[in-house]
Amino acid sequence: MYAHRSSPSFSKVILRLFAVVSVIFMLYYGYSTFHHTDPLKERLYELGYPTQGYIVQNGTILWSDGHITIMQGAYVENYPITAEQAYNLVLQYLASYNEKLRKYGYRLYPEKKSLTEKEKNGQLYWVFELKLKAGSNDMFAGFAWVNRETGVIDISGLLG
């Protein structure tokens, strides 16, 4: 014969359910708090760059930091400006504008998530969307084009 087991009381069920939900919530909160991904690295991955090392596609070496090397027979062309360097160059370029805008409560910044690759006049560029931050609002202000070979910046939009 089987021993008779009484069913757990309502309070024990609620207590166990609360404990399980609390553990799940704390695990999610801990993960979301300490697990940060760089939007620039995410965007590079979306553009086809590897997360580590390099890959070769049709004679082009794509490095994980965003610089590329193009090989056509004995001809090798290197574009050394990485995505992070391009972002920092744009920040440096905008520093003088931001100094003037600070007294009005505005700030210009390149949006990391908007990083794209474009070609113009035979040159390769990193392109960022520029945003104008006014209080808690962000407005589109143009584009920042960074030459991948020389690092020269060209702004199109509000500033040029």
Question: Considering the domain boundaries, does residue 99 fall inside one?
Answer: yes
* Structural domain contains residue 27: no
pLDDT at 2: 66
Residues with Cβ within 8 Å of residue 104, at least 6 apart in sequence: none
Residue 11 included in any domain: no
Q: How many domains does the chain have?
A: 1
Domain around 86 = 39-157
- 61 Cα distance to chain centroid: 21
Give bridge partners of residue 128 from the DSSP assignment: 144
Q: Is the pLDDT of residue 67 over 60?
A: yes
pLDDT in tens, 87-115: 999 999 999 999 999 999 999 999 999 99
Residue 19 inside a domain? The answer is: no
pLDDT at 135: 84
| Residue 25 forms part of a structural domain | no
**Residue 126: band (very low, low, confident or very high) from pLDDT cuts 50, 70, 90:** very high
| pLDDT greater at residue 9 or residue 2 | 9
Give CA–CA dist 56/50, Å, rounded. 10
7 falls within a domain: no
Q: What's the pLDDT band for 74 if we cut at 50, 70, 90?
A: confident
Flag whether 76 is in a domain.
Answer: yes
Q: Backbone phi, then psi, for 133, in 5-degree steps?
A: -95, 120
pLDDT tens across 127-142, in order? 999 999 988 888 999 9
